Amino acid sequence: MSNVSIKTVKEVDALRVASQMAAETLLGVGDMIRAGITTEDINTFVHEDTIRRGGYPAPLNYHGFPKSVCTSINEVVCHGIPCDRVLEPGDIINVDVTTIYNGFYGDTSATFYIGKPSPEAKHVTEVSRRSLQLGIAQVRDGARLGDIGAAIQEFAEAEGCSVVRAFVGHGIGRRFHEAPQVSHVGKYGNGARLRAGMCFTIEPMINIGTYEVEIQEDKWTALTADRSLSAQFEHTIVVTKSGCEVLTRRSRQLANSEIFPDPFAVSEARAL
């Protein structure tokens, strides 16, 4: 991984600032999101909030992407383009926020509930949330990249879900996407070693059905091939000597997302 940059303390500090700006904008999305608004309304909020904070929305015009945020509803895996689609009760929607500040990027996303979810929608969302947590738990100096994907794949598949292969986490810094690529499937002990100072995202896309996806004519929107539900959560992290720091960690509970008791806490307790 000679092309993977090890960030300096100052660079990590700058990434932390950009990441916290993105995290705060995502918290704002949670506060405003509800049935009856459009995904274009979300785009307007994210754009204006990012600018108000002194940042710039990284997705806007990135390789031609036409909006300031990605909004991915139900069977949309990722890269959904905001439009006049009205959010309806029962929808789930991933909102992916990336902020540029002083030349550094912070990238985070979450899946939100619009009203009461179906059992399937709740399950895939909570499996995705826990998958991210388990992937992060593998990160430490000297661990392997494959450990992250192995932990995610093992858990998600045990819960009857699938893990998208077509999209991966990525290094981040002065560029939106850098090395390394962080697969969300893998084997323990495989892959390059993680080193303190490496910065990257972990962002598992979990489907209730097949892991295969289809890209639509707009060249961005990715749908599950079987049109089953998909959910995703994402954090930007930095590897440390003792583990890792979640640079996009939120300062408070995420409204309209973190609304249920942890469904996996009971099973964990029984296993102890």
Residues at the annotated binding site? 79, 96, 107, 170, 177, 203, 234
In total, the chain counts a number of residues equal to 272
Residue 28: closest CA among 18, 41, 15, 17: 41
Q: Are strands 235-239 and 199-202 parallel, antiparallel or unpaired?
A: antiparallel
CA angle 171–172–174, rounded 5-degree value: 140
Do residues 193 and 143 make contact, with C-beta atoms less than 8 angstroms apart?
yes
Instruction: Mark the binding-site residues for substrate, compressed into ranges.
Output: 79, 177
Listed in sequence order, the residues at least 6 apart from 261 whose beta carbon sits closer than 8 Å to its beta carbon are: none
Answer whether the bond into residue 263 is a cis peptide, omega within 30°: no
Query: In sequence order, what are the beta bridge partners of 73?
Result: 93
DSSP three-state, residue 264: coil
DSSP string, 41-86: HHHHHHHHHHHHTT-EETTTTGGG--SSSEEEETTEEE-PPP-SPB
Query: In sequence order, what are the beta bridge partners of 230?
Result: 207
Instruction: Mark the binding-site residues for a divalent metal cation, compressed into ranges.
Output: 96, 107, 170, 203, 234
Query: Amino acid letter at 226?
Result: D
- E-strand spans in the chain? 56-57, 70-73, 76-78, 92-101, 104-113, 162-163, 169-171, 178-182, 199-202, 205-207, 213-215, 222-224, 230-232, 235-239, 244-246
